[in-house]
Amino acid sequence: MDTIHLKDSKLFFTDYGNAAKVERCDMDGMNRTWIVDSKIEQPTALALDLVNKYVYWVDIYLDSVEVVDYQGRKRHTIIKGRQIRHLCGLAVFESYLYTVNSDNLSILRINRYNGTDVQSLARLDNAKEIRVYQKRTQTAGPKNELFLFYGKGRPGIIRGMDLNTKVSDEYMIPIENLVNPRALDFHAETNYIYFADTTSFLIGRQKIDGTERETILKDGRQCELTVTFRESH
């Protein structure tokens, strides 16, 4: 039976403040480590290959998608050029990267082993973020299989919605008193929602029952984050 060990979990995030970088830390914000800090300008989207332990990111200033391993090694460029300008959001599934072109609001599929293979799959109004969730990777959490977390500003708040019933806040207590919540991810084993508030320059977390809210990092301009964990048998 698969189990998830919290001590092996990591939080990955981007920061393009005074010095752009991709970083990782423990789930409580400790052991912060830079994994990319050179030849990087404005990393605005991040995704993980949990199986092979690779970190992918979009740099909208350099018009590139790049990858390194969890230790910052084996860096190379997947695709670069004008055809991938204005990308936001990034997800990995099997042999492909999925992202959103914010200029024409199309979902793009990029072959991560052959960057010349780029396809436009669909158009979505106001699409700004994309995630691919596999139930087998996070088997705990809300009892329903289709559960959406979303953030909005003015006032800044993070809410949850059951996509079957379209009912908000049935399974979680909203995260309130935020300014500009931009990046979200969920760690199902612990029921923590992790979020980046880019105006307040912080990364925080709160459980879906409304308890144990805390700020785990506060500096820079964190704009994207994602949670990973290691499975053992």
Condensed to tens digits (0 to 9), the pLDDT of residues 73-93 reads 999 999 998 877 788 778 888
- What is the pLDDT confidence band of residue 3, given thresholds at 50, 70 and 90? very low
Say if strands 167-168 and 147-152 run parallel, antiparallel, or are unpaired: unpaired
66, 110 in Cβ contact below 8 A? Answer: no
- What is the pLDDT confidence band of residue 54, given thresholds at 50, 70 and 90? very high
- What is the pLDDT confidence band of residue 125, given thresholds at 50, 70 and 90? low
Dump pLDDT digits (tens) for 176-198.
998 878 777 888 778 888 888 87
Q: How many structural domains does the chain have? A: 1
Residue (of 104, 159, 103, 100) closest to 128 by Cα position: 100
42, 59 in Cβ contact below 8 A? Answer: yes
Instruction: Specify the CATH number for the domain of residue 100.
Output: 2.120.10.30
Q: Write the DSSP assignment of 199-215 as a string of letters.
A: TTTEEEEEETTS---EE
Q: Which amino acid is at 38?
A: S
- Which of helix, strand or coil describes residue 218? strand
Q: pLDDT value at position 37? A: 94
| Residues paired with 59 in a beta bridge | 43, 64
Q: How far apart are CA 229 and CA 159, in angstroms?
A: 24
Contacts of 35 (CB under 8 A, 6+ apart): 21, 22, 23, 24, 55, 68, 70, 71, 72
Two structure tokens written together for 47: 């995704």
Q: With 50 as the cut, is the pLDDT of residue 61 above it? A: yes
49, 57 in Cβ contact below 8 A? Answer: no
Q: pLDDT value at position 29? A: 83
Q: Which amino acid is at 206?
A: Q
Two structure tokens written together for 199: 């105006």
Residue (of 77, 68, 7, 76) closest to 35 by Cα position: 68
Print the domain residue range for 54: 3-232
Question: How many residues are recorded in the chain?
Answer: 233
- What is the pLDDT confidence band of residue 206, given thresholds at 50, 70 and 90? very high
Q: pLDDT value at position 2? A: 29
Q: Pick the residue with more confidence: 187 or 233?
A: 187
Q: With 80 as the cut, is the pLDDT of residue 171 above it? A: no
